[in-house]
Structure 1
């Protein structure tokens, strides 16, 4: 966003806060313009449609989320399995915060399930693939033969944990998924 205008950044920031807190369908363009302190005309100057704004919302979450997972992994001590579990434990800690609403990418995908061609669906899929690829590279660096398959399994555990905690509102499910991921990585052949 370094090349964006201050107005565009305010719009994306407002969309980020409102879409994440309330959902993309529940939030109007008027509400985003008001939250950004701008006119609807200014919003439409920067985004030709709400769909473009939804896409920008997810794009704004991509790198910060990936960087956070990488940070948690790198800061964790122990084996690769311990480091993978640490990501889950940090997500579980975040899920205990009252403003936590789950994975914005999965929530958006659920809201757009009947619109598979929506540009935000591609952004979400790309984000999930980047995380999977990053994990695969960590596993490859650690000498795991089936690094890509192992990464996919861990991603499935993570996304399953995100979904389950939204249903049960209990972050212990994320911790349980982390323990399963740790076990899975420990049992994977190198």
Structure 2
């Protein structure tokens, strides 16, 4: 239960985050979120006009923390860029082995809202994935890789594909395999870079 001293909006977002991630956005009612936050539904609607706004706030609250964790894993890993990117997958695999792991909140939400492409949460999820792609592109460009955008998209596809397959099979080794593939792609791109300099 959130502490009463926390700002009300943050209490609501924390409650929604726990419920939406664990149960899915369609299965969780506004009443349940209000109850978990220790508030009335009227108070919740004072801060959020609709459940759609609350879902968008839930994803927006995950955006920067998720990106920061990826960068932290990257920065803390010894070695070159291929090993550092593989470490992101390895750390995600470790997370996926936790019994409460439910996959990527952005992808799960987009699947639940697939018939609502204009939903604000879809836009937030797309922007989140684009930020990760842009960070990868900038990282690869700094290494002198010829087509950093193409490589960034390949890595992003491996990442999101591994989220889906691990969730389906409940086998985190698929994420580790995807990380090995990502490392190989980056190593090949770096070899190509050296070849162009000869």
Q: CA-atom RMSD, angstroms?
A: 0.8
Counterparts of 1:17-32 in structure 2, within 5 Å, are 17-32=18-33
CA offset digits 1:4-60 (Å, max 9, x no partner):
x80100000000000000000010000000000000000000000000000000000
Quote the Cα distance in structure 1 between the aligned partners of 2:63 and 2:125.
8
- What TM-score do the two structures reach when normalised by structure 1? 0.97
Pairs within 5 Å for 1:103-114: 103-114=104-115
Q: Deviations over 1:107-133 (max 9, x none)?
A: 000000010010000000000000000
Q: TM-score, normalised by structure 2?
A: 0.93
Could you say which residue in structure 2 is the equivalent of 1:8? 9
How far residue 142 of structure 1 moved from its aligned partner, in angstroms, is 1.4
Q: Helix, strand or coil: the match of 1:114?
A: coil
Segments of 5+ residues of structure 2 without an aligned counterpart are 1-5, 194-198
- Partner of 1:63: helix, strand, or coil? helix
Count of equivalent residues: 186
Q: State how 1:74-93 maps to structure 2 within 5 Å.
A: 74-93=75-94
- CA offsets 1:134-172 (integer angstroms, 9 cap, x no match): 011111111111111100000000000000011100000
- Residue 3 of structure 2 is matched in structure 1 by none
Query: Map of 1:42-81 to 2, 5 A cutoff?
Result: 42-81=43-82
Are positions 1:157 and 2:168 aligned together? no
Larger Rg: 2
Q: Name the SS for the 1:116 alignment partner.
A: coil
Q: What is the Cα deviation at residue 180 of structure 1? A: 0.4
The secondary structure found in structure 2 opposite 1:18 is: helix
Structure 1 equivalent of residue 171 of structure 2? 170
d(CA) in 1 for partners of 2:101, 2:40: 29
Distance 2:9 2:79 in 1: 42
Structure 1 runs (4+) greater than 3 angstroms displaced: none
Which residue is 2:196 aligned to? none
Q: Secondary structure at the match of 1:102?
A: coil
Shift of 1:64: 0.1
